[in-house]
Every structure is written in structure tokens, then in C-alpha cells.
Structure 1
């Protein structure tokens, strides 16, 4: 491999001084050949973290890990089998790494940058030992020691994606969930607030892997702790809390008991006072699971409607261009429109029909399915002879959109809804004027 190191920028900055010294401009284009022993046999690039396999061949760590993750079980050079199922050890080649760094320093004047000394990735044994010590510290009630171990787990996770996978597979999420429940039950008087915040921050990156860990995360004690951070004013704490709550709500175990009071208010606040796309997506997915999986979904829906969730979702759908956010907003709206109160709230917003028609065929197939389902529920279940919802859908260009959707194709369930909507719209389409559904709807007023 050849590095083409052009130092023209330095020459321009030197300007007249370089011209006075008699340096030829052609010398500014310098090529540096990387010695063959310093190249990775897989990528042929300069190795930044050389590691040696039991076969004796040295590779760059990132290259050989990608090779193994792709399903290969043999050495790329010798073709010898590797113990991929837990018996493979990548031995750091410190001697070669120091030689590469020395070579970089020697060629620094030619523009070669010294590679930094890599951190050694965490091993499954280290993760296992850390989890055992977290559990032991929680049983003793040693908040200080537990905080140190949680901080170490967080630092591992932040170093690399490989470390994150290793920590997750090692069961760190289960240990952290157990610690959250243990110290949360002892914090009724405000104790261990800093430790609990640290645990929730770590759990936002490391999810529990077992059913027991998810059950502990969804316990009343843990949910009370999460709710406390959701109601705080610190944006980072609120985002971490909603990410953890998303995992807790997704577990089937949690629905064997009622959610703690205040969860609905906290989730509506997350929509009303958005932090960012990550937190918003997690909040919407949590709301979707709360409505769809709860055995008391009617009660949950009624409470969310009373808190004014529907207008917030419509405004979010109008302002957001994020695909995931739009899909999740439409999914939650679809669930809310299962009830008569939800349909009344949705139709009560002046921009519901235009924005639903506009999102069809504009975001994704899933968003289109949700939008058509909502339109069908609003128009099919409409009471009275005036058919205001149906007429507004036609005025927003819904009839044309339904025709196009049949032509381009859609799912079977959506196709049934489209055909029924076309039958209803056909009876009224000659009596109303249509508008272009691609127009900006922010300032559109209902007649």
C-alpha cells in the first residue's frame, strides 16, 4: 500500500519563505511506502491494533473480527480452523505495534500520523466478574462500591461496539436491573439518588437479556425510580429513563400487574417537551406498547386522551420529517382511534384529514398502512348523514390517493380498507372540490 501525502497546504501557508529557500514545488508531493509486515493481510492497510491468532498470523483487530463475525471459521492465510465457539483468543502483538508507532514517528515529517495505543477490549471473564461484584455489593448495600462497578461497565460500553456486545452478552443488564430494584427499594427517603441515576444511564445502553432481568426492570420499585427521572428537569436523565422504560414496557411480565401511577402523564410530557429523535421514538414506542398490550387498554386510552395526546401527535406528525417518528405517531393514532372518544379527538383537530392524506405514499409502506387504517376508522364509523370526515378526506385529495394506492399496490388488509373508502368517497366526490395534498398544511384552515 502507498500513502500519498500531499503537503500543498503547508506550502501555501509558507508562501514566500519556501520560494526563497529554493525548495522545488514538486518535492511537496511525497509518497511513503508502508512496509509489508505492517500491513494487515486482510485489508492491506496499516495495522492500528495488531493481534496474533493461534495460527501465528497477525491481523488488524478490526479486520479479523469482521472476518469472524461474517461466519468464517478458518484463518484467512493458513486456512487452519479457528476455535470460534469461545476458544479463540486474539493476542495483542505489542512488539509489532510499537514498531509501527516508531515507523510513524520516523516518517512524521512526511505527514504520517502516529497511531494511538489501542485499548485492550474487555473479556467475557471481566464482564462476568464485574456482574458478580455488582450483585455482591447490592446484597451488602454498598452503594459506593456498586457505583464504581457501574461506572466501569459504562466505560467499557462507550469504548467500542465490540465491548458493548460483550457486556450485553455477559449479562450486565440483568445485574444492573437487580441493583436498580435493590437500591430503589432503599431510596424511599431520597437515598442513593446518584447511584440510581448512574444505573439508569448504564441500562440505557445495556439491556437485560433474561426474563428475570426484564421482570426486575418492570417491578413497581424499578418503575417508581424510572418515573422519578422522567419527571426531572435534567434532559439526559429523562432520555435515559425513557429508553429504559421502553425495554421494561416491552416485557410481557409487566402486564401481570398495573403500571405505577403517573406513567401516562410522564409519557405525554415527553411528547409535549421533546428532547430529540431518540427520546421521541422511544416515547412513542412505549405509548404504543402501553395501549396495545395493557389488559386495561380502554382505561389507558381514556387517560391519554384526557391528557391531550391526540393534538400533540398531530402537531408532531406535521412538523417531523423523521421516518421512524412518523410511523410511530401514526401507529399510536391508529390505536387511539379504536375508541369513539379517540375518533372524536382526532377529527376535532383541523389538520387531521389533510395530514393523513398527505402521509400516504410519502413516508413508508408501514406509514401508509396506518394512515389508511385511521382514515377508514374515521370515515366508516362516522355518525350522521352529513359525512363531514369523508368530505374532508375527499377535499384533501383522498380519492385520488386511494386510486393511486390501488395501482402501485399495498397489503391485503390495506387494500380492503382502500376499496371500502373508494366506495364511500364515490358517492360524494362530485359535490366537493379537492386540494393538492402535497401543499404545506401548516396554515390550512378548516372551512
Structure 2
């Protein structure tokens, strides 16, 4: 990643407790300790049933991707690579390691009113190093307000805005007054001013920034989507929803897809926003994600959540039923994913097939052998609400059972409950 003649100090919590190298794919065990996927998999494959760091016996050997840590490592890695690749790169000394608190206070004072990158680079590096550092930054009087003010400086360029957004994202969880942040970032939108606003800057980062800064941008957007008014203002920003949809195509970084989906879930609560998203072709995009074989459980759950949300509007139901592969893709996620995925998938099918009696959707369920999946699901340990919706779905097909069964080629037809 870096040249041998450079001295790079990686934050200690970026290193795997087993290999002591910076983690490429951090995953957490049930004990809460995070390791690099390759190292912990090798440990478990060797027959060990304990956590290497704590020596606790593992009640499950499953591990969960640590997305937040992976994002921080990526930001740090990109920052290091930029220094290595820059014409001004030189042998790094101890003075180029994590800045001290005094140095950061100077950087915060220096960052106001100019577009130089150096102070922001120091702030981001300091914030990446530890949770305590992020606490320190937020407590600096006027620090967050300065970051918000810097987002109005589109003339500073994309690289400048990327650093501002990264710095803001790193301290988001430490900001206590999110209502103030929401009001500050959307003030010009509320007042109807046409001059550059914070949403312009976030949109520019989404369009031209790197993967890690795009993730930071959607996280900031999600944090200010607090109420119906703010969600409406964000959705009304020209090009913003369509840009968010571009971030969640299957070929993109999974971490970017997951954060993009989370942002869309937050924004599209108002009915007008749901319709806008449908009109932008969101249903087709969601279908493509469901058809991808290697998408994580978390991504699948979020896609199904959005489809359930879209199915609450007539426009969404029409698109779900018109999209050739959508209903079949939802059916494929009804079982063997997670309880959350099952709930969202069944609710969507129930909405279009039972509640609104769409003929095309009913035919698509039969064609995709959906009755088998519904019956299997009813015989599983599903929730009462899922069982009730499955039962009501079966009633739909009971009305015309002969025509259904003519298409229902399976050995399990003898257990049909009608």
C-alpha cells in the first residue's frame, strides 16, 4: 500500500489481534472482538472454539462484518495513499503521525475562511485515531458550525469538500443537538434561497467523490433527514435521489450500497418521496440487487424494506407487478435469509396479491412456484403476523384452485390446506 521509505503509523484498533496487520476485512465474533476475516477463519478452521483475545468459549462460530470499522480503515488508507502519491510526498517523520490536541486546535482555527487542505487532513487524521479524539473535536466551541459553513464553499473543489464531509461524518455520533445540525444544513432550502447550499456540496461529493467520501455524504444526508419537512427538502433537491440510486447498483462497493439504501429508507417515508423514487426507476434497481447472488443479508433486508415501502403506493405496486423479475426475486428471499427479510418479503407479496388483488402479481407468484414457498414458510417457525399473511395469500389462490394447481407442478400439492 505504501512505499518502504515511508513511515506510516496505523491506529492500533485497525490492526488484527492475531496477525497485527491492518485489517482488510474486519469481522466481529460473538465476544465483540474484531479480527481480520482471513486470520480468524484460519483460527477456527484449525479446530479452535475460543476467542483468541479473550479465550472465552464461543457459543457460535459465526462472525459479523464490522462495516463501521471497515469504513474508517478505508478512509485512513485513502488518506495515506494520497500522501504517498502526491508530488510533495517525502520520508515521513514522527511529526507526520497523529496530530496532538494543540496541533488540532491550531488546525481548527486555521481551517476557517480558506480552502487549504492541510488543516482538514490533520483534523480527519486526528478524528480517525480514537473515539476520545472525536469527543475532543465536538467539544471545541464552534467546530461543527465551521464544518457546516465550509460545506457552502463549493469553489474549494471536490477534494476540499470530501475532507469536510469526512470530518463531519466522523463526529456525527458525537453531536448531541442533531436538530440544530438539521436546521443549519437545510436553512437555505427552508428559506427558498437559490444560492449554493449544503445539499449542493453533498450532491457534488456523491457525483465526483471517492467511495469513502460518498459513504460519508450519504451518512450525513441520513442524519439530517429527521422529519417530514427535511425529508421533503432533501428529495426536492434536483438530481439527489437519482444520484443515490446510482450508488446502489450491483457493481458498486457493498458498503456504499448498504449506506445508500439506509439513506433512501430514511428519506422516502413521505408518500411524495416514494412516488418520486418509483418514477426514477427504483423498482428495477431493487430487483437487480435481489437477483445478485452474493449480496449480504443486510443489503437484502434493506432492499426488501424499500420494496415493502414502495408497495404502499399505487405507483409502486404497478411497477412491482410490471417489472418481469421483481415478484420472483422477492419470492426467492422469502425463506433462508433472515426473519427480517421474510417479514418484508411476505408483507410486499401480501400487499400486491391480497390487499390490492393485482392479477399480474398473483400470476407471477404461481409461475415462480410461490405456493410451495408459502406453504413451507407456514410450516416453519415464522412469526404470527407472517403466518397470518401467508394464510390470507393462500385464500386468494383457493378461489381458483384448479387453475392454480394446473400451474403448480410439485410433489407437495397433497398438503394444500384447501
Is TM more than 0.5 here? yes
Distance in 2 between the 1:330 and 1:420 partners?
A: 20
Which of 265, 286, 289 is residue 316 of structure 1 equivalent to?
Answer: 289
Do 2:290 and 2:330's aligned partners in 1 also have CA atoms closer than 8 Å?
A: no
Larger mean Cα displacement after TM superposition, 173-182 or 365-374? 173-182
Alignment of 1:25-64 (within 5 A): none
SS of structure 2 residue aligned to 1:331? helix
Is residue 225 of structure 1 aligned with residue 222 of structure 2?
no
CA gap of 1:276–1:254, structure 2 versus 1, over 3 A, is: farther
The residue that corresponds to 2:150 in the other structure is 183
Q: Which residue of structure 1 lines up, in the alignment, with residue 254 of structure 2?
A: 277
Aligned to 1:290: 267
**1: CA distance between counterparts of 2:311 and 2:205?**
30
Indicate whether 1:165 and 2:140 are aligned: no
> Separation in 1 of the partners of 2:169 and 2:251?
18
Counterpart CA distance in 2 for 1:236 and 1:317 is 24
Change (3 A) 1:263 1:274: farther
Q: Distance in 2 between matches of 1:177 and 1:224?
A: 18
The 1:388–1:252 alpha-carbon spacing in structure 2 relative to 1, beyond 3 Å, is closer
C-alpha RMSD of the superposition: 3.6
Equivalent residues of 1:167, 1:206 under 8 A apart:
no
In 2, distance between residues paired with 1:422 and 1:359? 18
For the Cα contact (< 8 Å) 2:158–2:208, is it kept in 1? no
Report the TM-score, using the length of structure 1 for normalisation: 0.59
- Give the length in aligned residue pairs: 306
Give the 3-state SS of the residue equivalent to 1:170 in structure 2: helix
The equivalent residue for 2:305 is: 331
Listed one character per residue, the Cα deviations across residues 108-166 of structure 1 (whole Å, up to 9, x for unaligned) are xxxxxxxxxx99x979xx55x5665455335x52443xx434322332455xxxx3322
Alignment CA distance shift 1:132-1:238 (3 Å): same
Q: Equivalent of 1:210, from 170, 175, 178?
A: 175
Determine which structure has greater relative contact order: mean sequence separation of CA pairs < 8 Å that are 6+ residues apart, divided by chain length: 2
Q: Distance in 1 between matches of 2:272 and 2:131?
A: 39
Cα deviation per residue 1:21-72 (whole Å; 9 max; x = unaligned)? xxxxxxxxxxxxxxxxxxxxxxxx9x9xxxxxxxxxxxxxxxxxx99xxxxx
Say if 1:173 and 1:209, in contact at 8 Å, map to a contact too: no
CA distance in 2, matches of 1:434, 1:173: 64
Q: Which residue of 2 aligns with 1:151?
A: 121
Shift of 1:394: 2.7
Structure 2 residue runs of 5 or longer lacking an equivalent are: 1-17, 21-52, 55-93, 187-196, 411-418
Q: Deviations over 1:295-314 (max 9, x none)?
A: xx222112111111101110
TM-score (normalised: structure 2): 0.63
Give a deviation string over 1:237-273, Cα, whole Å, max 9, x none: 4344234333333x45972872233321211221247
Aligned to 1:420: 392
For 2:385 and 2:303, the matched residues in 1 are separated by 20
Q: Are 2:221 and 1:241 aligned?
A: no
Residues 273, 239 of structure 1: alpha-carbon distance in 2 compared, 3 angstrom cutoff: farther
CA distance in 2, matches of 1:407, 1:347: 27
Question: What SS does structure 1 have at the residue aligned with 2:177?
Answer: helix
Q: 1:171 to 1:281 in 2, by over 3 A?
A: same
